[in-house]
Amino acid sequence: MDKKEKIEKKVDKKPNAFINFLKSRKARSGGIAIAITAVFICIIVLVNILAGVLVENFPNLKIDMTSTQAYQLQKDTVEYLSQIDRDITIYVLADEDSFKGGFGFSGTNADYITQGYKLLKKMAKTNSKIKLEFIELSSNPTFTNKYNKINWTGSSSNNLILIDAGDDNYTVISFEDCFAYDQDQVSYTGYTFTSTTVEEAVVTGVLQVVTTDKIGVDIITGCGEDETDYAGIKSLLTKNAYNVREMSVLTDDFHKDAEIAIMYAPTVDLSDKAVEKLSAWLENDGEYGRTLIYIPADMEVETPNIDSVIAQYGMKVGDGISYCTSPNYYINGPYIFLTDYESDIYTETLKNPNVPTLVGYSRDIEITNDSAVAMLSVESSVGVIPFDKKVESEKDLEKYKKDKINLAAVGTKTNEENKSSNVAVFGSRYMFYEDYLSTTSYNNANYIINFCNTVTDRGDMGITINSATINTSELGITNIMSITIIGIIFILVIPGVILLTGLVVFIRRRTK
């Protein structure tokens, strides 16, 4: 072999620098660091993708960081819907993407609509019997044909949700039922939403379609009452699946299914004939099973015939207005105050008996015999100012002080089969105002529904759901900006920091 061939062979056998580097300790250490970093980034990306899929299919997994838990269903909603034992379909009459995106609204209005969308998704996941479908009517014009009890034209074309329980049991919910708005702003700037009422509207709708045998409630008219005053109790009972109607005590008969009658703040006494009709209805041919709820007016009215009915059930309405000066009870003055519960019969199924009821300008109820018991009372710095007396200062209140006053009571008559008819007297018409019934600060709505459910042997099927508000300044995914920020943090910032850390480790080890 000549000298040239030996040199070429020697060159060919020269070690490759890149191969040597790959075999070096530095390369192995750096490669491991890069591999770990790459695997970790892949895990982060996969976790994000998996979390998105899970939240989409199981909305309750989403963490609500808002202080008011605006994106969480209320406990009563979950408990009630989870017990539904029949198939129900909630049809949202809109395109899903449009609903999810806020129906073209902007700012807080869009946030409220998105909030409503998320609550609907969560409601559908509480029970496998409940299905949620989105139907755009313009693309499905025949959908409405089988729901002929609903007016689909005119102002009713604003229907947003239809709840169908089968067997011709369905109800419709309008857009205005789902989102509360400031009516003073509508004519100037369009809708300005103040809260989302989707949850309340849907739960109420479900309760109505699954309750096929609704108990009748007759509101007695023709006695000088103000129908705007009893709108709150009428709405509350209707939402809780009672069949509420009005009947003139002068010309109408009580409805056959009526187990409750309400006489709200009459300013005209009943006629003799009306008293006979009311008494006969309560007696029910000796079968009983009826309840009259009487709320007297907060003024001096001569009602001897009404008083005679009340007297038969062991009660008398006082001739004055109650007051309470205890700072533990009164609210903004001595005439609006909290009460204590008396009878366990009407509180044992209350969801939260620690929350009090509120009365205002209430008449006191005197119990005259053992057939009646107190339901609500106060015995702390209380009294009753007679209608014919004037009070110019709180000092004058001491003249009319009492040890204890009753604000609500119920009298009962029972037959041999242990069936009862009741007359319940609530001294305060303000207790039934919509503002007092719609707040969770007081137990007015829960107590009234609990009372009605108890006297009709309906059980604990009342439910009160509150509207959901959004505080855009608080922590949480309450708007698009916060969603974007959280997305950037988890999708870009965290993986980027991990990648940069891996590169730094790799470079430092290589230079050692």
Mean pLDDT of 339-343: 93
The structure tokens listed for 376 are 């609500």
Q: Considering the domain boundaries, does residue 313 fall inside one?
A: yes
Is 462 a domain residue?
Answer: no
Provide the pLDDT confidence category of residue 321 given band limits of 50, 70 and 90. very high
Q: Are the C-beta atoms of 480 and 100 separated by less than 8 Å?
A: no
Which range is least confidently modeled, 207-221, 376-390, 409-423, 480-494? 480-494
Is 15 contained in some domain?
no
Determine the length of the chain. Answer: 512
Kindly state whether residues 363 and 492 are assigned to the same domain. no
**Digit-coded pLDDT (tens) for 501-510:** 766 766 666 5
The pLDDT assigned to 479 comes to 45
Q: Are 255 and 349 contained in the same domain?
A: yes
Query: Is 281 found in the same domain as 334?
Result: yes
pLDDT in tens, 97-136: 999 999 988 888 899 999 999 999 999 999 999 999 999 9
pLDDT at 441 over 90: no
Give the Cα separation of 155 and 398 in Å (integer): 56
Measured distance CA(313)–CA(372) in Å, rounded: 7
Residues 230 and 287 in one domain: yes
Q: Are residues 113 and 27 in the same domain?
A: no
Supply the pLDDT for residue 151. 84
**pLDDT, tens digit, for every residue of 351-383?**
788 999 999 999 999 999 999 999 999 998 999
**Rounded distance, CA 419 to CA 413, Å?**
8
User: Which of 455, 485, 500 is the endpoint of a domain?
Assistant: 455
Please tell me whether residue 418 adopts helix, strand or coil conformation: coil
**Are 183 and 245 in the same domain?**
no
What the block records as the tokens of 4 is 């040239």
In a domain, 216, yes or no: yes
pLDDT class for 305, splitting at 50, 70, 90? very high
In 69-156, DSSP assigns E strands to 88-92, 130-134
> 32 versus 399: which is more confidently predicted?
399
| Chosen domain end from 206, 225, 248 | 206
What is the three-class DSSP state of 338? strand
Query: Which range scores top for mean pLDDT: 44-48, 52-56, 77-81, 185-189?
Result: 77-81
Q: Burial letters for 395-428: b for 16+ Cβ neighbours within 10 Å, e otherwise?
A: eebeebeeeebbbbbbbbbeeeeeeebbbbbbbb
pLDDT tier at 82, thresholds 50, 70, 90: very high
As a whole number, mean pLDDT of residues 170-193 equals 74
Q: Which of 290, 251, 248 is nearest to 266 (CA)?
A: 248
- 88 has pLDDT over 90: yes
Report the DSSP beta bridge partners of residue 168: none
Average pLDDT, the chain: 83
Predicted confidence band of residue 475 (pLDDT cuts 50, 70, 90) = very low
Q: Picking from 63-72, 187-196, 257-266, which range would have the lowest pLDDT averaged per residue?
A: 63-72
- Dihedral (Cα; 163, 167, 168, 169), 10-degree rounding: -40
CATH number where 240 lies: 3.40.50.880
Q: What is the CATH number of the domain that holds 179?
A: 3.40.30.10
Give the type of residue at 280.
Answer: A
What domain range is 430 assigned to? 212-455
Residues 45 and 163 grouped into a single domain: no
| Residue pair 127/77 in contact by the 8 Å Cβ criterion | no
| Three-state DSSP class for residue 161 | strand
The fraction of the chain above a pLDDT of 70, given in percent, is 74
pLDDT for position 470: 58
Among candidate residues 192, 118, 198, 175, the one with its CA nearest the CA of residue 465 = 198
Nearest CA-CA partner of 297 in 270, 327, 266, 322 = 266
On whether residue 197 sits in a domain, the answer given is yes
- d(CA 371, CA 425) in angstroms, rounded, equals 13
Per-range mean pLDDT, top range of 136-145, 328-337, 388-397, 421-430: 421-430
User: Which tokens go with 323?
Assistant: 């007051």
29 and 152 both lie in a single domain: no
Domain contains 461: no
The span from the CA of 499 to the CA of 37, in Å, is: 6
Is residue 230 over pLDDT 70?
A: yes
pLDDT at 9: 52
**Mean pLDDT of all residues in 265-275:** 96
Contact 326, 338 (CB under 8 A): no
Number of domains in the chain: 3
Closest CA to 91 of 177, 173, 163: 163
Q: In 198-329, where do the E strands start and end?
A: 216-221, 243-248, 258-264, 291-295, 315-317, 320-324
pLDDT at 476 over 60: no
162, 292: one domain: no
Where a domain ends, among 157, 182, 206? Answer: 206
* % of the chain surpassing 90 pLDDT: 53
Tell me the pTM.
0.72
pLDDT average, residue stretch 332-354 = 88
Same domain, 344 and 482: no
Task: Match 């006082």 to its residue by tokens.
Answer: 318
Instruction: Classify residue 414: in a domain, yes or no.
Output: yes
What is the model's pLDDT at position 462?
58
Q: What is the mean pLDDT of residues 15-21?
A: 56
Q: Are 375 and 348 part of one and the same domain?
A: yes
Residue 483 placed within a domain: yes
Find all residues with CB under 8 Å of 257, minimum gap 6, and list them.
214, 215, 216, 243
Considering the domain architecture, whether residues 227 and 155 belong to the same structural domain is answered as no
